[in-house]
Structures are given as C-alpha cells and as structure tokens.
C-alpha cells in the first residue's frame, strides 16, 4: 500500500510537471524570441494610406487600430440580424482601403492571424 | 436632466431619426419593374407564386441565375451539390398516363419553419417579413435543420465552393448549412430576386414575388384568381411558395 | 458487513500488457484527432454523409454512448437510490464509467460539427430554447457535473450526500435519455417522429449500460484476480433480461403501429424489409440483441453461469448499437414524401431511397473517441481507487 502511494505521488508530480511545461513552453518561446531580437525592434508594418479625400474613418485611428473587429462584428450583426439597413459594412472599407494585401494583411500577417471574413467576403 | 433621462431622450432621438431616414429612402426609391410595397418593412410578408403552366420544362435559366447571383456551390456530385432551386419532374403514381409535370422546388419560407425551431444557435431564423434565412457567421454546422426540413430544401456545404461568380455577394465556407433566402439582399434594395428577374427577362414570367399582406400586390392577386396549391400543406408549416397548376 | 468496510484498491498498472494497452489506446486517440482535424479543415465531404443523409456514424455513436452512460449510472444508483447495499462496491466504478461515456457522447457530437471552432461560443451566447439540440448539451454537461459531485460523495464516503446525489443523478440520467430520444423522435420525418422513442431510448440505455457493467466487472475482477460473488452478476443479468423485454416491447409496438396504419405502411415496409438496416434490425437487434440473450438469461442453468451471462451481455451491447443505427439512419434514407400520390422521376438531388456508407475518416473518429475514453478509464483505474478489493454478498443474504 505504501509502495503504491509512492508511485502515485511520483506520477502525480510528473503530471503536474508535464502540464506546467506544456503551459510554459509557448511563454518561454515568446520570451526567448523577444530576448534574442533585443535591440532589433521590428518596425511597425507599413500600411497603405487612403487617398487625401478620405482622410477620416468612421472612428478615430486608435479605436480602429484595436477595435475594428468589434465594430465590424457590431455592424455585421446589425446588418444580418437587425433588418434591412446595411449602409456600412466590410464592403465600405474597400472605398478607402483599396487593397487588402497592402492594408489588412500587413498587420494580420505580422501577428500571424487569419480572419474568417475573407473566406466568404471578397476583398482584393 | 439626470443621466437616465438624457440617455432615453438621446436614444429616442436616434431611433426616430433612423426611422425617418429609412422612410425617406423607401419613399425615394423608384422601382420600375422592381419590388414595392406600401406597407412598412416589418409588416410585409414576402411570398412567391410559381405558375407551372407557364414554366417551360426544358428551361433552366432561373436555376443558373440563382447559382450565379448567390454563389451556390455546384461540384458535379449529387451528394454535395447545393440547389437553392431545383427542378424536378413528377408523374402520377397511380394513373397509367405518363404525363410528366415539371416543378420548381425551393425553400418554402414556412411561417412555422421547422429548421429555425431546431437550430441550436438561432442561426436559422425567420425575419419579420417572413423570409427564413441563415446567419452563416453563427452556424455551427450541426445539420439538424437539414434533418428536419420536410421539403429537402436545405443543404450543407460539404466542401468548399470552388466558384465565386458574384464577387459582390459572399459565398459560404464549408461546414455551414444554407438554403434559398428569396435573395434577401436584393429584396432589401427594392429589387426582385434573381430567378424572378431572369424569368421575366426571357419573357416567360412564371415566377412572381410580392407582399402577401398587401392585397394589391401581384402575388395576392394571383392567389385570389387561381387558387394555387402549396406543397404538403397538411404538415402545418404554412409554406409561402404557391404553385399554380400543381 | 457494514458499508464503510469496503476496501478499494488501484490497479498496479506497471505490467507490460498494461503499457501495451495504453499504447494501443493512445494510437487510437491520435488517429481520431488526426481524422477529425482533416475532416474539419477539408470539409465533411470526406465523410460518408450527403445532403440526404446529414447525420451519420458520429451521431449514432453519440446516442449509443449516452445510452451506455445512463445505463451504467442506474447500476451505480442501485446502492444510492434503491439501497441495495451489496452493490455499493460497484458504485464508484459505475459512476466513473457513466461520466466517461457521457464525455464520449459529447465528443462524438462535437467532432461531428461542420464548424467545430464555433461550438464553444455560439450555443451558449445564442441558446435556442425551442431546439432539442440546444437543450440536450446543457443536460449532458449538467450530467457530467452531477457525476463528479456524486463521485466525490462516494469517494469521501459522505452517506447523506451520496444518497441525495444518487437520486438526483439517476433522475437526471433518465431526463438526459428522454432528451436524447427527443432529438430524433421529434423530427418531422416518417421513420423518426414517434412519442415512443424517448421511453424506448431509456429502456435500451438501461439494457446496454447494465450489459456493459457486467462485461467490465467480470473482466476487471478476473484480470486483477479479485473476488466477485456470482450472485451479484446473476442478479444484474436478470435486470438486463427484463430491460431487454422492454426494449423489444417498445420496438414491436412502434413498428406494428407504423405497419398497421396505411399512411405509414410504405415507410414501415422500408424500415422492416428495405435493405442493410433491416438486416441490422432483425439480425443485430432482434435476434442477437434481444432473442438469444433473453433465452440465455432466463434459462435456469445458463442464466446462472458467469461466462454465458457475459456472452449474453456482449450480444446485448452489439444489439443496442444496431438499434441506434436503425434509429438514426433509415429515417434519413427513407425519402420524405413531397408529392403524395406522385413519384419524382428526375431531379438534381437524390430524391428516392439512398444508402449510407461509412467513410474511413468517420470510422477513425469513432475509434478515436473510444481510444480517449479507454485511456481515461485505464488511467482512472490506476490513479483512482475505483474498484473494490472484493465484492461479496452480505452474510445471510446469499442465494
């Protein structure tokens, strides 16, 4: 009985260690990559600027930078579920940000993100 | 004015303003040959009347138009092909006559849609104007709606659609369900669904879409005149696609 | 013997066969994960499902697993609910198995979705009270939580909590089963819609769960050389036999009703004599699943012989699996009648009778779920004190 207890404790410790390793691994990798590229901070991605006549977006730049997805989701739900009004949508973005490759993808690629939008909505 | 009052007032203003602007748009839209109803949007009830006596057996124009307008997937494999409209021929089981009849089958936009009832995420829903459609952003692909549709009118995207003819309209990813939505995006702009437009353009005019709640509309008139039938009315789903000459 | 004296012991889990078993189960689980990943990223056209057969082997297996779960739980509840003290030694193991198979059921449903990535968000944020498919996962998850509470009470030997939890859990299991039956029984298709389906689900669940417990108990006690009184298994065999009669009764009534009424006779004929599913219905469920095991279990001599009981139990598990198949599949392969009195001669869709064939990806998914559950089971035996050292009838109560 005592012998078994010992095995179990060891097993349990192993489990905990394994789980901890699994959780910490990505974190460690991230820190390592950060440390290794120290001093060489990557420049922010270059984005295509809209033409001068479209200087203003529907919200300010800091908001759009961090919350454009929330806004798009809000507009999406209002458009699809809320009824017929679809004046502003993902398609409206194309009016100013004409190229997905030179605008959307620049940041998405940088953070290794594939939004679900473009599989079904055309945005060249 | 305390905060709550202010918010209420602000909200009211926005709502009224929105409604006003919307009304303006509707009144301002001229729709020659298009879709108009004098009733406000939420009290409309879109329905369809198909005249099978006019429908030509060998014509597939509406099917092609639907496929092109809505990016409906065609893989060339019966198991996975999606048909928002499909054309079938039927024959009496009992009489000896070999008279064949061609019938267009599609989503019936039931008033009591079994598909919307069973959808676990409310992705399939019935709009206020009676159109049954799928919110493809929400569909989890459980296929319960495909199971429960008594008309075999719902389809699942078993594989990615290779074609994308109409770039202005989204396609669907694999893993979600879909069915005819009366071209809701066109109806909302005051235009007729793609199948109706095409059928009119080729001079057949077998399909009509309109507001069932509006006694003056073409569909109401056709229903009054020719007492059309609906498919499996006995199921109690109250379909809104009517057939003349079935 | 008072019920606090039961000694539980983990299995040692250091032998070569044990590690071989772990390896096999891991390979199964990995195969399932890989198959699921491919299906999810490539699309479900790699499964055998079509637009006419939207539900295939995964739903069949889900229903089967949930049945096994509820049945095992009833065995576990023999002590807590019905006060049968001689079955207390099995309570932990049975409750643990019940929990595992519920997880298996949930996994099967989860891996069957076209957009698995949304399953963890949308059903919770947009709950649809009118959908059986919305209500049931809630019931399943509640069931798992209740199982954990009940197991905790059993492990800590909390007498009152055990009894309360047992009653709640058994009632909940019956509800879960009724709910699962309602998913299929409330579908407006000729071979699905039936108010008898939920109760017949409960009966089949009880049969398959009891049968599974008989197999697991006898095998486990033999393999680990623990003592198990024959009378305990014989009584479970009786319970199994009675539930088999109920399963058969429900199936008979349902089919007879459909066949007798002229409007559904054609569908009933397809169901009873229409193809591969009819072979499973008659051969798998009726003969192998009900008739032969009933004869064995009611037989005065064979019904008291442990190997025969185990044999009968294995046939019942197979029979109930066949039953799940004939509940899920033929209702879809039988076409809905769009035009009464007419036949559809041409259509771009398969409008007539269709057939379903399982693809290797789906089969691997099912194997994977079994692998995961098997892993959890053997690891549970190793790390949790689930199984008693011995299971004996209380003195003076023996037969």
Residue that the structure tokens 């097993």 belong to: A11
Would you place residue A23 in the very low, low, confident or very high pLDDT band (cuts 50, 70, 90)?
A: confident
**Pick from B128-142, C79-93, C103-117, C298-312: least confident:** C79-93
Which pLDDT belongs to residue C395?
Answer: 63
DSSP track, B186-200: HHHTT---HHHHHHH
- Nearest chain B residue to C40 by CA distance is B175
Task: State the Cα–Cα distance between residues C204 and C38, nearest whole angstrom.
Answer: 33
- Is beta strand B124-126 parallel, antiparallel or unpaired with respect to B241-244? unpaired
pLDDT band for C377, please (50, 70, 90 cuts): very high
Tell which C residues from 358 to 387 touch A, by Cβ distance under 8 Å.
Answer: 382-383
Q: Is A91 on the interface with B (CB under 8 A)?
A: yes
**In 3D, which of B159, B174, B169 has the Cα closest to residue B75?**
B159
Q: Is there a contact between B211 and B219 (Cβ–Cβ < 8 Å)?
A: yes
Q: Which residues contact C332 (CB under 8 A, 6 or more apart)?
A: B147, C52, C53, C54, C55, C189, C354, C356
Identify each DSSP E strand in A22-107 by its residue range: none
| pLDDT mean over B165-188 | 93
List of residues 6+ apart from B143 with CB closer than 8 A = B156, B177, C49, C54, C55, C114
Mean pLDDT over B148-154 rounds to 94
SS3 for A113?
Answer: coil
User: Would you call A119 an interface residue with chain B, using a CB distance cutoff of 8 Å?
Assistant: yes
What's the mean pLDDT in C5-12? Answer: 82
Q: In sequence order, what are the residues at sequence separation of 6 or more whose Cβ sits closer than 8 angstroms to the Cβ of residue C351?
A: B88, B152, C335, C338, C344
Is A4 close to C10, i.e. CB distance below 8 A? yes
pLDDT in tens, A82-97: 765 667 888 888 888 9
Q: Tell me how far apart the alpha carbons of residues C209 and C241 are, in angstroms, rounded to a whole number.
A: 12
**What CA–CA distance (Å, rounded) separates B23 from C169?**
57
**Which of B107, B114, B144, B178 to mutate to test binding with chain C, by most C CBs within 10 Å of its CB?**
B144
Q: Write the residue in C128, C130, C345 that is nearest to B91 by C-beta.
A: C345
Interacting residues of C110 by C-beta distance below 8 A, sequence separation 6+: C116, C119
Q: Do A11 and C383 touch (CB under 8 A)?
A: yes
Note the pLDDT tens digit of each residue in B56-101.
Answer: 989 999 999 999 999 999 999 999 999 999 999 999 888 777 788 8
Compute the average pLDDT of residues B195-220: 93
Give the torsion through C-alpha atoms of B74, B76, B77, B80, to 10 deg: -10
Say if residue B20's pLDDT is above 70: no
Which residue of C121, C378, C382, C386 is the best one to mutate when testing the A interface, meaning the one whose CB has the most A CBs within 10 A?
Answer: C382
Contact state of A76 with B127 under an 8 Å Cβ cutoff: no
**What values do phi and psi take at C79, rounded to 5?**
-80, -55
Position B27 scores a pLDDT of 40
- Global pTM reads 0.87
What rounded mean pLDDT belongs to chain B? Answer: 85
Task: Tell me the two tokens of residue C47.
Answer: 């499964």
A32-50: average pLDDT = 73
Per the CB < 8 A criterion, the answer to whether C118 and B175 are in contact is: no
Nearest to B219 by CA among B236, B235, B186, B243: B243
Q: Does A87 touch chain B (CB under 8 A)?
A: no
Question: Could you tell me what percent of chain C has a pLDDT over 70?
Answer: 97
What is the C-alpha separation between C187 and B145, in angstroms, rounded?
10
Nearest CB partner across the interface for A120, out of B22, B135, B171: B171
pLDDT at B3: 43
| pLDDT reported for residue C7 | 84
Closest CA to C378 of C107, C14, C7: C14
Average pLDDT over residues C15-27: 94
Closest in B80, B147, B160 to C55, CB measured: B147
* pLDDT at residue B19, as a whole number: 42
pLDDT in tens, C347-364: 999 888 999 999 999 999
Per DSSP, what are the bridge partners of residue B87? B104
Tens digits of residue pLDDT in C168-204: 999 999 999 999 999 999 998 889 999 999 999 999 9
E strand residue ranges, B9-116:
46-51, 85-92, 100-106
Closest residue in C to A8 (Cα–Cα): C383
pLDDT beyond 50 at B13? no
Q: Who has greater pLDDT, A86 or C7?
A: C7
Mean pLDDT calculated for residue range C123-148: 90
Q: What is the pLDDT of residue B34?
A: 62
pLDDT at residue B30 in the model: 38
Closest chain A residue to B185 measured between Cα atoms?
A: A84
CB < 8 Å to A122, chain B: 164, 167-168, 170
For residue A37, what pLDDT is reported? 67
Nearest-by-CA chain A residue for B71? A120
Nearest to B114 by CA among C128, C375, C114: C128
Lowest mean pLDDT among A39-48, B170-179, C241-250, C286-295: A39-48
Collect all residues with Cβ–Cβ distance below 8 Å to C216 and sequence separation of at least 6: C93, C97
Burial class (CB in 10 A: 0-12, 13-18, 19+), C109: buried
**φ, ψ for residue C344 (rounded to 5)?**
-90, 120
């Amino acid at each position: 009985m005592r012998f078994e207890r010992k095995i179990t404790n060891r097993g349990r410790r192993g489990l905990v260690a394994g789980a901890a390793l699994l959780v910490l691994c990505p974190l460690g990798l991230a820190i390592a990559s950060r440390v290794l590229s120290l001093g060489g901070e990557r420049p922010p991605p270059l984005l295509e600027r809209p033409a001068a006549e479209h200087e203003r977006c529907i919200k300010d730049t800091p908001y759009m930078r961090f919350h454009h997805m929330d806004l798009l989701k809000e507009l999406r739900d209002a458009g699809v579920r809320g009824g017929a009004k679809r004046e502003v949508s993902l398609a409206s973005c194309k009016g100013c940000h004409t190229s997905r490759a030179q605008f959307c993808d620049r940041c998405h690629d940088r953070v290794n993100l594939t939004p679900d939008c473009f599989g079904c909505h055309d945005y060249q | 004015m305390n905060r709550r009052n202010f918010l209420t007032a602000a909200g009211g203003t926005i709502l009224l303003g929105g409604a006003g602007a919307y009304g303006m748009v509707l009144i301002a839209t001229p729709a020659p040959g298009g879709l108009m109803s004098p009733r406000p949007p939420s009290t409309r009830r879109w329905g369809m009347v198909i005249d099978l006596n006019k429908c030509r057996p060998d014509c597939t124009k509406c099917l092609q138009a639907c496929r092109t307008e809505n990016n409906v997937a065609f893989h060339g494999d019966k198991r996975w092909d999606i048909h928002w409209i499909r054309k079938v021929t039927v024959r009496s089981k009992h009489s000896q006559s070999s008279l064949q009849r061609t019938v267009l089958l599609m989503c019936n936009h039931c008033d009591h849609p079994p598909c919307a009832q069973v959808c676990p995420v409310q992705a399939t829903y019935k709009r206020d104007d009676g159109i049954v459609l799928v919110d493809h952003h929400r569909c989890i692909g459980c296929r319960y709606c495909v199971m429960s549709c008594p008309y075999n009118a719902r389809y699942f995207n078993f594989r990615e659609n290779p074609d994308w003819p109409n770039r202005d309209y989204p396609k669907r990813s694999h893993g979600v369900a879909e069915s005819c939505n009366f071209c809701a995006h066109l109806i909302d702009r005051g235009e007729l669904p793609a199948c109706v437009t095409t059928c009119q353009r080729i001079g057949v005019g077998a399909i009509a879409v309109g507001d069932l709640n509006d006694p003056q509309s073409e569909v109401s008139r056709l229903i009054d005149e020719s007492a059309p039938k609906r498919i499996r009315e006995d199921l109690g789903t109250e379909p809104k696609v009517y057939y003349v000459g079935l | 013997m008072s019920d606090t004296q039961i000694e539980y012991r983990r299995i040692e889990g250091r032998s070569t066969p044990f590690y071989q078993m772990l390896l096999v189960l891991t390979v199964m689980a990995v195969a399932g994960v890989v198959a699921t990943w491919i299906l999810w990223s490539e699309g479900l056209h790699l499964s055998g499902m079509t637009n006419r057969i939207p539900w295939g082997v995964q739903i069949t297996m889900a229903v089967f697993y949930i049945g096994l779960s509820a049945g095992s739980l009833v065995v576990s509840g023999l002590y807590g609910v019905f006060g049968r003290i001689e079955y207390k030694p099995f309570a932990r193991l049975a409750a643990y198995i019940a929990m595992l198979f519920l997880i298996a059921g949930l996994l099967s449903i989860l891996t069957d979705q076209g957009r698995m990535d949304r399953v963890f968000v949308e059903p919770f944020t947009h709950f649809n009270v009118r959908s059986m498919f919305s209500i049931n996962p809630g019931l399943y998850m509640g069931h798992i939580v209740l199982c954990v509470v009940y197991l905790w009470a059993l492990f800590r030997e909390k007498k009152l909590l055990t009894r309360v939890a047992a009653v709640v859990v058994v009632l909940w299991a019956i509800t879960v089963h009724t709910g699962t039956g309602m998913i299929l029984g409330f579908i407006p298709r000729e071979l699905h819609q039936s108010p008898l389906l939920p109760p017949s689900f409960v009966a089949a669940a009880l049969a398959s769960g009891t049968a599974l417990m008989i197999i697991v108990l006898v095998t486990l006690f033999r393999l680990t050389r623990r003592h198990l009184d024959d009378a305990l298994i014989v009584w479970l065999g009786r319970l199994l036999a009675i539930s088999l009669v109920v399963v058969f009764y429900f199936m008979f009534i349902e089919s007879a009703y459909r066949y007798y009424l002229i409007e559904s006779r054609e569908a009933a004929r397809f169901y009873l004599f229409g193809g591969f599913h009819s072979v499973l219905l008659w051969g798998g469920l009726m003969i192998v699943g009900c008739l032969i095991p009933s004869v064995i279990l009611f037989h005065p001599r064979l019904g008291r012989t442990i190997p025969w009981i185990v044999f009968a139990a294995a046939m019942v598990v197979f029979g109930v699996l066949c039953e799940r198949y004939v509940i899920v599949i033929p209702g879809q392969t039988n076409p809905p009648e769009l035009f009464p009195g007419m036949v559809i001669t041409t259509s771009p869709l398969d409008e007539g009778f269709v057939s379903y064939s399982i693809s290797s990806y789906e089969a691997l998914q099912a194997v994977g779920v079994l692998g995961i559950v098997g892993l959890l089971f053997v690891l549970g035996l190793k790390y949790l004190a689930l199984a008693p050292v011995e299971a004996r009838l209380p003195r003076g109560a023996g037969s």
